[in-house]
Amino acid sequence: MMQRRVKITGIGPVTPAGIGREAFWRGILEPVSRIRPFTKLGEENGPLVAAFMADFDVEHYLDRSRVAKNAARHTEFALAGAMLALRDAGLAAENLRGMNCAVVTGSSLLDFGGIGSAIESVAKRGLRGVKGKVVYTTTLTSVPDAINQALGITARAMTLQSSCCSGLDAIGYSAELVGSGEADLAICGGTEAPLHRFPILELRAAGLTPPNIEMAERMARPFDLWRTTGVVSEGACMFILEPEDSPRPGYSFVSGYAFANDEPNALCGGMVRSGRLAMAQARMRPDRIDAISAWGPGHKLIDAAEARAMQSLFGADLARIPVVSIKGAIGNPLGATPAIQVAAAALAQRFETIPPTVNWDYPDPECPLNLSNRARLLAHEATLVNAHGVGNVNAALILRRC
């Protein structure tokens, strides 16, 4: 139970729609998909599409000497996001020294790029090809540790792995640390870089990302009648969380957080429980929710299941609540996705604008949600953020405007 209110004071998005708060907000308001053919892995691996950041360079955000050699791509994303979030909050590394801080990150996957490279090295060269560095660079715990090292601090560090809910769980857990007084500042969020030969080929084989490149920019179609599957992509978003009495202005309060699992044969059914528990923690009734940041990956079954869960949670009131999925714009960077959703939702509250659901053109009767493929001007106070992942996991977060 959170005992003091917790606010977001800094936002650091690293996404195909834009890097940094201002660029991201401009990008996510555009009715444009960043998904395109992904050819880096070579034609021999078949067709792939994704939203990706071809020109990302961590040196644009911090000195390379502060980044561990051979750091994984998802670690570099998190480092850039943390630096951007600190700058957005008006903080420098020196301000954190001596503070009671926590660093909590969420990712669904290990660094499969580094792991795959190590396996190939041994296969080609035998024991001479063994790379001991992978013990330190490919684990998920290396992400918050890298942030600690880059900032020169010894904050309590933790990483969460709960499939695609990881980023939201990291924010929720951090809010509880700050709310209870266990930490006075948290650097938290989600990061993901899955665009390696493994696991992207397995994800394609599982029907979780498309097997062709035709009309790539139309592939991710959240809640649209003609949707097929989601599009796995990459990205990150980090945040600064502080208590209400912090001198820095806030975007939104993290007012409620919860997680829940689906029961057997009840896809996304756990969203109902996680939503109810999050609202209970926020001391809010369903009729107080003004907007929903939906999971909505553009998957035929998952989108419909989420719509049913929202109908169960809100009943007839659902028709008045604006709903958005940002995955038509940026795809689905797995565990980083819900953190990016939180950024979009907090900025939407600040600027009184609901981003568009890109590629939502043909309403599906199975998904009777209040969607729009254009940005909507709307002052709103409370937003429900949904997340769902493989393993029947769900999470929900309530943001209230500061």
Note the pLDDT tens digit of each residue in 11-49.
999 999 999 999 999 999 999 999 999 999 999 999 999
CB 250 within 8 A of CB 165: no
Do 33 and 86 fall into the same domain? Answer: yes
pLDDT of residue 113: 93
CA quadruple 311, 32, 76, 388: dihedral, nearest 10: 10
Q: Which of 194, 220, 243 is the C-terminal boundary of a domain?
A: 243
Do 92 and 113 fall into the same domain? Answer: yes
Do 151 and 69 fall into the same domain? Answer: yes
Domain membership flag for residue 1: no
Do 96 and 227 fall into the same domain? Answer: yes
Tell me which amino acid residue 115 is.
I
Residue whose C-alpha is closest to residue 153's, from 105, 96, 82, 85:
96
Q: Region 344-370: what's the mean pLDDT?
A: 98
Do 274 and 179 fall into the same domain? Answer: no
Domain membership flag for residue 197: yes
Q: Strand, coil or helix: what is 106?
A: strand
- 73 lies in which domain range? 6-243
Overall domain count for the chain: 2
Is 0.85 topped by the overall pTM?
yes
pLDDT confidence band for 54 (50 / 70 / 90): very high
Query: Looking at the chain, how many residues does it have?
Result: 402
Do 259 and 307 fall into the same domain? Answer: yes
Domain CATH for 155: 3.40.47.10
Domain membership flag for residue 249: no
Question: Looking at the DSSP assignment, which residues form a beta bridge with residue 15?
Answer: 18
385's enclosing H/E stretch is strand 382-389
pLDDT of residue 189: 98
Rounded CA separation 179/1 (Å) = 8
Domain membership flag for residue 276: yes
Do 232 and 148 fall into the same domain? Answer: yes
Do 207 and 107 fall into the same domain? Answer: yes
pLDDT of residue 50: 98
Distances in Å between the Cα of 78 and the Cα atoms of 13, 42, 160, 191 are 9, 27, 14, 6
378-396 pLDDT tens trace: 999 999 999 999 999 999 9
Q: Which of 243, 266, 284 is the C-terminal boundary of a domain?
A: 243
Do 235 and 291 fall into the same domain? Answer: no
Domain membership flag for residue 106: yes
